[in-house]
Amino acid sequence: MEPSFGKKLRAARKAQRLSQTDLAKAIGVGQPLVSQWEQDKAKPNADQEQKLHKLLKMVSVSSESENRDLSFGAWLSGRRGKSGLSVQELAERSGVSGPAIYNLESGRSQNPQEKTRKALEDALGVKVPPAVRQEVKTEQEIQGLGSLVDFDPHDEDDHPSCAGVYVFYDISDRPFYIGQAENISKRIKGHVEKFWFKSPIVDNGCYIEIPDKKLRYQVEQVLIKFLKRNAVINKKSVDRNEAES
């Protein structure tokens, strides 16, 4: 008899050396819900099932499947598994935060900054294959502007110091805040002490480098107007209590 969904999930989680809490954080749910899934007392919804399916594929990544799945997260999870490292161990070796690694492996973040990629390569002792890098670039590129790059809002070392437009997402990957700045890192420092700048309200972020000030403002305004009430903060370029430098 084929194992139940719950048994498959539990086996996959243990193979990945993750606790139920680790898995819950990786897909944005609570630990009790993961426990119910593994006991076959509840079923994930469509979005949760998609995230779990992606994670389960990562668990079984082999050299053959690495050639088919060219996402950065699949590559990272497969290499980490081959190295026998837990997420926490890789975080300690690389200096990349555990949540950032979870986000990459679950697919919530898809295109890390160059310094993050290099830190992970050095910790794993292997380079990201050119095919994976090209796939990431193709998937995240916006023609005429550049590529969307992910970063960890809660890791100051991961903040981009370039000019551009940035977005914060909550733990459910909903856009929460849209902003633009001459120096994104400097601008984020103005957010850190705000009551809303914490997880799960602000869980991850991405940016696109745009040197031209007028274009940055135009892109920011288009995003804000498209998202309307979905962007909770800065709907009308408010929350700007300091001038852009």
Of 148 and 54, which is predicted with more confidence?
148
For 13-68, how does the pLDDT look when each residue is reduced to its tens digit (9 = 90+)? Answer: 777 777 888 888 888 888 888 888 888 888 888 778 778 877 765 444 333 333 34
Are 113 and 160 within 8 A, CB to CB?
Answer: yes
Q: Which of 99, 147, 101, 139 is nearest to 120 (CA)?
A: 101
Higher pLDDT: 19 or 232? It is 19
pLDDT score, position 19: 85
Instruction: Tell me the domains of the chain and their CATH numbers.
Output: 5-141 (1.10.260.40), 153-230 (3.40.1440.10)
Q: What is the pLDDT of residue 139?
A: 79
Q: pLDDT-derived band of residue 214, with 50, 70 and 90 as boundaries?
A: very high
Bridge partners of residue 169, in order along the sequence: 175, 204
- pLDDT for residue 121: 95
Average pLDDT for residues 153-174, to the nearest whole number? 92
Rounded to whole angstroms, how far apart are CA atoms 60 and 78? Answer: 8
Residue 187: per-residue pLDDT: 95
Band of pLDDT at residue 199, cut at 50, 70 and 90: confident
Look at 233 and 58; give whichever has higher pLDDT. Answer: 233
Structural tokens at position 64? 């053959």
Residue 208, helix vs strand vs coil? strand
Q: Which segments within 79-148 are labelled E, that is strand?
A: 141-142, 146-147
Q: pLDDT confidence of 209, banded at 50, 70, 90?
A: very high
Which DSSP helix (H) or strand (E) runs through 82? helix 72-83
Return the pLDDT at 12: 78
The single residue listed with the structure tokens 């005429």 is 144
Structure token pair of residue 65: 């499947």
pTM (whole model) above 0.85: no
pLDDT at site 176: 87
Q: Who wins on pLDDT, 166 or 106?
A: 166
| Summary mean pLDDT of the chain | 82
* pLDDT greater at residue 218 or residue 134: 218
**135 vs 125: CA distance, rounded Å:** 21
Direct distance between the N- and C-terminal alpha carbons of the chain, in angstroms, rounded to an integer: 65
Task: Report the DSSP beta bridge partners of residue 109.
Answer: none
Closest listed residue to residue 112, CA positions, set 211, 212, 204:
204
